Structure 1
Amino acid sequence: MFTTPRLTCAQITAADWDFYHRLLTSPHVLYYVSDAKTEEEIRASFETRLPLWSPQSQHWLCLMVRDRLSGEPFGVTGYIHHDHHCAEVGFLFAPEAQGKGYAAESLLALCDYAFTTGGINRLIATVTAGNLPSRRLLEKAGFILEAEIPQSYWLRNRWHSDWQFSMSHPHDRIITHAD
């Protein structure tokens, strides 16, 4: 769907199952995201992301983020509509791809796409409180922390707070992509 200086971002396909499965079974990746899922739950999640996506779709736009030269997969990013002009973004990156700017580069490109091509006016993101790398990534991309919702997410056998972020259409600024 789009490229950045280092990355390609294209809709996930059936051929991406092994990588997707590896992401969703990695305790490191899921630490702030989810408790372990069954094989059936992972497969069902994967299959809901496979139908061809368009801006009117009700399912996640799930993009495989790959190295532009080698094609090596680094992670997934995307968004899902909450209403006609608002969507929630999400991202998961393999441990070996974290801390190298790939998530930021792909998120900036995703936001640009959502605002220019996707017809989105507002993006939101929810992050489990304590997930400082995701918080820094969202803030670097221009998201603003709007609220902390106490005791709103059950994870690892206890309640956690959520941080809610948002970004409105950048009518008066240009989004630049990280190098």
Structure 2
Amino acid sequence: MINLTTPRLTCTALCEADWPFFLSLYQNPAVMRFVMDELSETDIREAFEPRLAVWTPGATHWLCLVVREKESNQPLGLTGFIQRDDEIAEVGFLFTPAAQGKGYGFESLQAVCHFAFTEGNIRRLSATVTVGNEASRRLLEKTGFVLEGELRESYQLGGRWHNDWLLGLLRSEFQG
């Protein structure tokens, strides 16, 4: 079982007991504002189920980790990656509003990048961020991701087309 630890956090594989937390994140408009439109509970459950599968290098489903504060064991967010091609994966993360701006995203993303590059056989990580989501872009850039471009009218959110920023990080560039 995957268990990433940092000075303040533990990141462990999503399990069935995490359903209420997962649901609360996906139903929180402040969390999902730049991610996706509101989903039904059924649709959220359909997103949850595949993330329960045991992850091994080369898996085609998300490595979904629950980020918890070590001292309290309180869940703060989700992080992980999904392999998109040979040695290439996309990272993602969601945090509760109360956990945002406290360095938890940076701390957990560094652990995920280190794991992806050392244990996951990943050479390149990418991230797609809706233009306007400055906090996520700053977090990725602080971790070492480089802005590689912008896709115009790439993603529909709230009935409007939005541009996406594309960011990438190579194993050879990672300083974590």
Which of the five TM-score ranges fits, normalised by the shorter chain?
Answer: over 0.9
Matched, 1:61 2:63: yes
Matched ranges for 1:114-133 at <5 A? 114-133=116-135
2:51 paired residue number: 49
Matched ranges for 1:94-173 at <5 A? 94-170=96-172
For residues 34-93 of structure 1, what are the alpha-carbon distances to aligned partners after superposition, in whole Å with 9 as ceiling and x for unaligned?
000011110010001001111121100000000111100000000000112000000000
Equivalent residues of 2:8, 2:70 under 8 A apart: yes
1:20 paired residue number: 22
> Which secondary structure does the structure 1 equivalent of 2:52 belong to?
coil
2:140 and 2:172 mapped to 1: Cα distance?
A: 15
Q: Which runs of no fewer than 5 residues in structure 1 stay unpaired?
A: none
1:85 paired residue number: 87
Aligned residues: 174
For residues 138-161 of structure 1, what are the alpha-carbon distances to aligned partners after superposition, in whole Å with 9 as ceiling and x for unaligned?
000000000011111000110000
1:6 paired residue number: 8
What is the deviation of 1:174?
3.8
Question: So what's the TM-score if we normalise by structure 2?
Answer: 0.97
The percentage of aligned residue pairs carrying the same residue is 52
Structure 1 stretches of at least 4 aligned residues deviating more than 3 Å after TM superposition = none
Question: So what's the TM-score if we normalise by structure 1?
Answer: 0.95
